[in-house]
Amino acid sequence: MKTRFWMTLVLSLLLAVSWAGAEEIAGLPLHIEKLDDGVIRLWLGDHISSTTTFAFATEKGIVVVDTFGVPEVDSQLRQAIARELGRSDFTYLINTHEHGDHTGGNAVYADCTIVGHELIAAGMAEAAANRERMLAWFPERIAAIEAELQSLGAGAPEAAALKEDLILNRLNFRAVEAAAEQAPPNLTFSDRMTLDLGDTTFELSYIGGMHTSSDTAILVPEHGLLLTGDTMADVWLTDTPGCLASFSVRSGVQHDFPRMLANWDRLLADRERITTLMPAHWNGELSIEGAEARVEYVRSLWNAVNQAAEAGQGIQAVLAENQLAARFPSLAESPGFSAQGNHASITELWREASGQASAARTVFELLGEGADEEAIRQVLADRGSESPGYFFFEAEFNAYGYAFLQQDRVDEAVRMFEINVELFPDSWNTYDSLGEALLRRGETDEAAAMYEKSLALNPESPSGREALATIKGGAST
Ligand SMILES: [Zn+2]
């Protein structure tokens, strides 16, 4: 009897320890970290770039920031928060921005006031309109991960990360299939808002226009915390940074650069109130110096495009003077920066400063949706007009041509490169790219003619020489 008692006790203690050490939600390890008295953050997984949920115990109730994005997971996270804080008076849910991996679990907090930027609802509606595409995409993605897992030997180091990725994709797919109820914020703001919870205040500032239209910084001065959403990180803890991967201005996002910069300046001027900056995914970190450098980077580009637009210069001058490695050497190797991202940022900033749209992007979209030649001609006719509505940039047309090639849309790629040849007939590279696309379409003679034109303009071009040698070698056999 006695022995059995001790055995039962030891066994139950062992079970309790192993359960506490390996608590899971939906098959993913749950992490709970105490940041300060009454402040915790929770996330799932050791490898995937999942969202961090923050929870604050305040005098006037529990305040949660961001959801995992999957209602079945978020109801369990809500229970874990209640257990950890020893109370369940949930009062507010705040969203850092509109993305589904932050707002998808909002309905689990439908009994609370849901707080966020006024543009979050539109962003959520746009994502919901994409449902059909996501329903088609997820099974393909899931099958690809399953195939990759099968091809790896058991115990391969990459397998652990893939398994988590598989679970995450299955969870997201189920959520899309279920068409879960959307719960956009019912308390919104446009520039700044303060929530007073007695012993704790939440100062919300718009910092949107880079990652999404609705990015929000949340300063909680009593805890020295600045939550920065998905806008930036200067350390990546995993090699799959996910949403934090790119620090650049996304197109299709509403911008207000002067307001965003002013709000960042105000936040960073109060730096004695900030002890820790925290991105909204667990696998990113951010220092105050990293944030300052990123804000200064955007300011430099914003000033450069405005000065160039006022001086009547073109975007080419701005791009040439603001190449990442040459102009911003200390940021070139920093997480989130790339030459393409820098180019995309300048293009988008230019669009905002000059009021001109990218002709290459517009033509890319028109070709992509199968628009007729007349629509394309209308865009091209704008070139050289007195007040052009578009800017024409050779490298951009070229890049979009390759984007079509990557999608195996060879006809559209050929058309894109033909337009670039028409616009920039003195550039050897436009003929070289067109040659490559024609070759992909099996039009060897036409391709050879293009490579010859390219070589006439740039006899040293190795790609042209190699391609011609291959074509001629192939033709002679
Ligand atoms: Zn995001």
Q: Coil, helix or strand for 443?
A: coil
Q: Coil, helix or strand for 285?
A: strand
Interval 392-440: pLDDT, tens: 888 889 989 999 999 999 999 999 999 999 999 999 999 999 999 999 9
- Going from the Cα of 126 to the center of ligand 1, the distance in angstroms, rounded, reads 14
- Going from the Cα of 404 to the center of ligand 1, the distance in angstroms, rounded, reads 26
Cα angle 44-278-64, degrees, rounded to a multiple of 5: 60
For residue 275, pLDDT beyond 80: yes
Label residue 21 by pLDDT band (50, 70, 90).
Answer: low
For residue 146, pLDDT beyond 90: yes
Interval 353-400: pLDDT, tens: 988 888 999 999 999 999 999 999 999 999 888 778 898 888 889 989
- Going from the Cα of 162 to the center of ligand 1, the distance in angstroms, rounded, reads 21
Structure tokens at 441: 């379409």
Q: Coil, helix or strand for 320?
A: helix
Label residue 180 by pLDDT band (50, 70, 90).
Answer: confident
Interval 218-250: pLDDT, tens: 999 999 999 999 999 999 999 889 889 899 998
Q: What is the CA radius of gyration of the chain?
A: 27
Q: How far is CA 133 from CA 3, 128, 136, 172, in A?
A: 62, 10, 5, 13
- Going from the Cα of 211 to the center of ligand 1, the distance in angstroms, rounded, reads 7
- Going from the Cα of 254 to the center of ligand 1, the distance in angstroms, rounded, reads 15
φ, ψ (nearest 5 deg) of residue 162? -65, -40
- Answer for the pair 451, 429: CB distance below 8 angstroms, yes or no: no
Structure tokens at 29: 């390890």
- Going from the Cα of 243 to the center of ligand 1, the distance in angstroms, rounded, reads 5
- Going from the Cα of 187 to the center of ligand 1, the distance in angstroms, rounded, reads 20
- Going from the Cα of 171 to the center of ligand 1, the distance in angstroms, rounded, reads 18
Query: Quick count: other Cβ atoms within 10 Å of Cβ 145?
Result: 18
- Going from the Cα of 66 to the center of ligand 1, the distance in angstroms, rounded, reads 11
For residue 265, pLDDT beyond 50: yes
pLDDT value for 476 = 43
pLDDT value for 76 = 97
- Going from the Cα of 96 to the center of ligand 1, the distance in angstroms, rounded, reads 9
Please name the residue ranges forming H helices in 200-287.
257-269
Query: Quick count: other Cβ atoms within 10 Å of Cβ 415?
Result: 19
Q: Which of 193, 69, 54, 192 has its CA nearest to residue 134?
A: 69
The residue-averaged pLDDT of 50-54 equals 97
| 32 strand-pairing partners | 42
- Answer for the pair 454, 421: CB distance below 8 angstroms, yes or no: no
- Going from the Cα of 62 to the center of ligand 1, the distance in angstroms, rounded, reads 24
* Average predicted confidence (pLDDT) for the chain: 91
Helices vs strands, H then E, count in the chain: 19, 17
- Answer for the pair 214, 116: CB distance below 8 angstroms, yes or no: yes
Label residue 123 by pLDDT band (50, 70, 90).
Answer: very high
- Going from the Cα of 60 to the center of ligand 1, the distance in angstroms, rounded, reads 29
- Answer for the pair 139, 169: CB distance below 8 angstroms, yes or no: no
Label residue 101 by pLDDT band (50, 70, 90).
Answer: very high
Contacts of 187 (CB under 8 A, 6+ apart): 113, 114, 115, 116
Q: From CA 107, how far away is CA 237, in angstroms rounded? A: 30
Q: From CA 449, how far away is CA 395, in angstroms rounded? A: 22
For residue 20, pLDDT beyond 50: no
The residue-averaged pLDDT of 139-153 equals 92
Structure tokens at 173: 């797919």
- Going from the Cα of 366 to the center of ligand 1, the distance in angstroms, rounded, reads 27
Query: Quick count: other Cβ atoms within 10 Å of Cβ 79?
Result: 12
Q: Coil, helix or strand for 286?
A: strand
- Going from the Cα of 356 to the center of ligand 1, the distance in angstroms, rounded, reads 27
- Going from the Cα of 100 to the center of ligand 1, the distance in angstroms, rounded, reads 8
- Going from the Cα of 250 to the center of ligand 1, the distance in angstroms, rounded, reads 12
Q: From CA 423, how far away is CA 90, in angstroms rounded? A: 60
For residue 10, pLDDT beyond 60: no
- Answer for the pair 226, 211: CB distance below 8 angstroms, yes or no: no
For residue 4, pLDDT beyond 90: no
For residue 475, pLDDT beyond 60: no
φ, ψ (nearest 5 deg) of residue 469? -60, -45
- Going from the Cα of 123 to the center of ligand 1, the distance in angstroms, rounded, reads 11
| Packed helices 359-368 and 394-406: angle between N→C axes, nearest 10 degrees | 30
pLDDT value for 118 = 98
Q: Coil, helix or strand for 252?
A: coil
The residue-averaged pLDDT of 142-150 equals 94
Structure tokens at 164: 């988590």
Q: Coil, helix or strand for 65?
A: strand
Q: From CA 187, how far away is CA 154, in angstroms rounded? A: 49
- Going from the Cα of 408 to the center of ligand 1, the distance in angstroms, rounded, reads 29
- Answer for the pair 47, 157: CB distance below 8 angstroms, yes or no: no
pTM above 0.75, yes or no: yes
